[in-house]
Amino acid sequence: MAVAREHSFTRAAARLGVSQSALSHAVRTLESRIGVRLLTRTTRSVSPTEAGERLLRTLGPRMQEIETALGTVGTRGDPGSGTVRIRSTDYAADTVLRPRLAGLLSAHPALWVEIAIDDGPDDRSDEQHDIGVRWGDQVAKDRVAVRIAADCRMAIVGAPDYLARRPRCGVPQDLIGHNCITQRRADGEIAAWSLVRGRRRLSVRVEGQAIFNGVYPMIAAALSGCGLAFVPEDLVDAHIATGRLSRVLEDWSPTVPGLHLSMARRIATVRAVALVVEALRHHR
């Protein structure tokens, strides 16, 4: 499972704390014992065969249950030990996770937190991560949700020199004539811009030359004059104040439900996870 996740024997061995040769031998022994090739090896990557994919789909949830049970037993004496794996956007990791977890990790040297930058759908398999971080309206209904940040207002911004070269942007339809800095989601789709004014809601499919998968390079691209970016307001307030960025369509700027932790109910009971959740919880 580790090799399939990492697509590499080298990275999987490092993650597991074993030698690459020992890991390779273990996989070959498993394949020989069951009589089926599970991994396809090339000079650049390793990927599961069709049989390997079937086995992963079957074993994944069961392995997670075993890891959860072991984590619960192993942390009874010290809730501050173990590894908690989090899927998060870069915005949430930088503005919430990093500052709030610093003190917790300092106080609990045996606690490890692994954060993967990933904006995939919230209802996908928990095979690789214990906790997801998503906007409040993106949390799947069958999961435990814990708010970690206040509601967030969005902003459409561009550099003054870019806006000087383009037609005025007075209504959402004008975005079609602009070079918009877009974000590609983990599912491969370009994220639409969801705009709100009063009771009116519009989902605008914008286009542009610059496409990123994180919010910080989008802001950098806007600062350099590449086009308009749709980003959390708090990340660009300082640039707006100094005149490096200007807002457009401010009356269409939506407020999105604040960031939430999202986890399966069985995960929420693990003591190390509960410790992390409490450190991240939003207190009004």
> What is the amino acid identity at position 11?
R
What tokens appear for 84 in the block?
């908690």
Residues 204 and 177: beta-carbon distance below 8 Å: no
Please tell me the distance from the alpha carbon of residue 273 to that of residue 222, in angstroms, as a whole number: 37
Q: Calculate the average pLDDT of the chain.
A: 88
Q: CATH number for the 152-256 domain, one of 3.40.50.300, 3.40.190.290, 3.40.50.720, 1.10.357.10? A: 3.40.190.290
> Among 235, 267, 262, which residue's Cα sits nearest to residue 147?
262
Interval 24-66: pLDDT, tens? 999 999 999 999 999 998 877 899 999 999 898 888 777 767 7
d(CA 149, CA 135): 9
Alpha-carbon span 199 to 217, nearest angstrom: 32
pTM attached to this predicted model: 0.70
pLDDT tens by residue, 110-160: 999 999 988 766 555 455 688 999 998 888 888 889 999 999 999 999 999
